[in-house]
Structure 1
Amino acid sequence: MNEKLINKENLPKHIAIIMDGNGRWAKSKGKLRIFGHENGTKSVREVVEASAEIGIENLTLYAFSTENWKRPKLEVDTLMKLLVSSLRKELHTLVDNDIRLNAIGKLDALPEKAHQELLEVIQKTRNNKRMTLTLALSYGSREEIKNAVKQLASKVKNNLMSLDDIDDTVINKHLYTHDLPDVDLLIRTSGEHRISNFLLWQIAYAELYFTEVLWPDFKKEHLFQAIENYQNRERRFGKTSEQLN
């Protein structure tokens, strides 16, 4: 896939990716699951750099869900250590590429060392402007929406707002992603066709792209294929083709 085939005037403003298939990739090679996670970080680096290069403004990666805490302790512990080492290793890449790191989810559920490393990289990249890279960590969309509902209910109960004040904009302001635009393109690797509790509110009008490629094999040419596919679709947002034309 040639980058030149991509229309730079019609890029998705926000791409979200469910990075799936690390475990199956490792199993296919007779290795432990963590081997897949380690190799998956190489795909993260390549996709992040490629996204920034072509002008994507927002990239969100589903790195660890609230349900992932149920995995075997050894795998979870290793994933958290991998998170810390990756953040340290990739700080210079983020700085060199003018990328701001952001994170959403129940971040206080992360081990202290991982949480602290995350906050440090967020702080050190806070003024970068080229692209915002958001990591969804200990993230679940139902939990996010439930928290927003509780906040809004509390404000109504305490007369800080009325029921009539609640609209899409107000709800957006109470989500983890309050400073991000809605998702334009959602990519899921590994051949699965599920959303898996990821950005359920934010993908209301997103284009969905599923690929059989396992995440450790997902490279920039696969990203460009997804973007070209997105650009060949007609986004109607409830309208008819005739209305758009």
Structure 2
Amino acid sequence: MSDDELNPLMATNPRHIAIIMDGNGRWAQKRFMPRAFGHQAGVKAVRKIVEYCALQKVEVLTLFAFSSENWRRPEDEVSMLMGLFLATLQTEINKLDRNNIRLRFIGDRSAFSESLQSKMAEGEAQTQGNDALTLVIAANYGGRWDMCQACQQILDKMATGGLPQQAITEELIAQHLSTTDLPEPDLYIRTGGEQRVSNFMLWQLAYTEMYFTPTLWPDFDEQSLEAAIVSFKSRQRRFGHTGEQILNKSVTL
């Protein structure tokens, strides 16, 4: 009998891990280096975590790369981030494809340059048939934006006859979110010591287990992620039910 059968309340391995990669700038400043140095180091951490998730058979890994609020940062830093984003895509897409990893982007792409939008579309097209891991990059993304665009899609479809006039339900909204084809995150991780959601996947995180660590993102490695997963697996996931209901198998999660 497996541990899961002995205690059905305990979480199993997460299917979907979502991460806010915080602390690149502070990591660089601690070393008396420019913030760009920290962002470059952060890319190396991304490679390690993507590889580890693929090895651990995680189905989906979502990384918050650039929020809709990050445009408020100094212009030179935003410009550097856009350049690093494009350069990273140019070097990593083929590697992801060779490792059977599917690349997805969520967020409003319209604010990005044509070259960046083109490279994003190219990466998605090249890797769309892969199934070892889905790597979701949230870029110019915000949870409030996601809900607003879902509602706008619904209204547009109703106005043009694509949807019958009907009550707005949770299911209908979920079908129009940018993550509609993905499982909701089981485990949310934020590095860098901050303990907030920061407008990330607000709808999708409703029953997600949260894990906060002071580790700055460039220092977050395979052992750090394993510690987060161990913490996740020690938790009870009841989704509003009582423990007794689940133990008696009167409900199905």
The normalised TM-score by structure 1 is 0.92
Distance in 1 (alpha carbons) for counterparts of 2:93 and 2:131: 15
1:172 to 155, 171, 174: 174
Instruction: Answer with 209-218 or 150-159: which moved more.
Output: 150-159
Match of 2:130 in 1: 128
Give the partner amino acid of 1:96: R
Match of 1:82 in 2: 84
Match of 1:196 in 2: 198
Distance in 1 (alpha carbons) for counterparts of 2:152 and 2:118: 27
**Contiguous gaps of at least 5 residues in structure 2:** 1-10, 248-253
Match of 2:246 in 1: 244
- Shift of the alpha carbon at 1:156? 4.0
Q: Name the one with the larger helix percent.
A: 1
Distance in 1 (alpha carbons) for counterparts of 2:94 and 2:151: 38
Distance in 2 (alpha carbons) for counterparts of 1:212 and 1:173: 35
Distance in 2 (alpha carbons) for counterparts of 1:145 and 1:182: 15
Matched length? 236
Give the partner amino acid of 1:116: S
Root-mean-square deviation (Å): 1.4
Match of 1:115 in 2: 117
Match of 1:58 in 2: 60
SS, match of residue 163 in structure 1: coil
Distance in 2 (alpha carbons) for counterparts of 1:194 and 1:75: 23
Give the partner amino acid of 2:128: R
Distance in 1 (alpha carbons) for counterparts of 2:158 and 2:65: 34
- Shift of the alpha carbon at 1:113? 1.6
Distance in 2 (alpha carbons) for counterparts of 1:152 and 1:122: 25
Instruction: Answer with 141-150 or 55-64: which moved more.
Output: 141-150
- Shift of the alpha carbon at 1:89? 1.4
Match of 1:6 in 2: none
SS, match of residue 177 in structure 1: coil
- Shift of the alpha carbon at 1:154? 3.5
- Shift of the alpha carbon at 1:158? 5.1
SS, match of residue 235 in structure 1: coil
Match of 1:163 in 2: 166
- Shift of the alpha carbon at 1:148? 1.3
1:19-50 per-position Cα deviation (integer Å, ceiling 9, x unaligned): 00001111111011111000000000000000
Match of 1:219 in 2: 221
The normalised TM-score by structure 2 is 0.90
Distance in 1 (alpha carbons) for counterparts of 2:99 and 2:235: 30
Instruction: Answer with 172-181 or 33-42: which moved more.
Output: 172-181
Compared with structure 1, are the counterparts of its residues 158 and 90 closer, same or farther at alpha carbon in structure 2 (3 Å cutoff)?
closer
Give the partner amino acid of 2:122: E
**Contiguous gaps of at least 5 residues in structure 1:** 1-8
Match of 2:250 in 1: none
Distance in 1 (alpha carbons) for counterparts of 2:234 and 2:200: 24
Give the partner amino acid of 1:209: Y
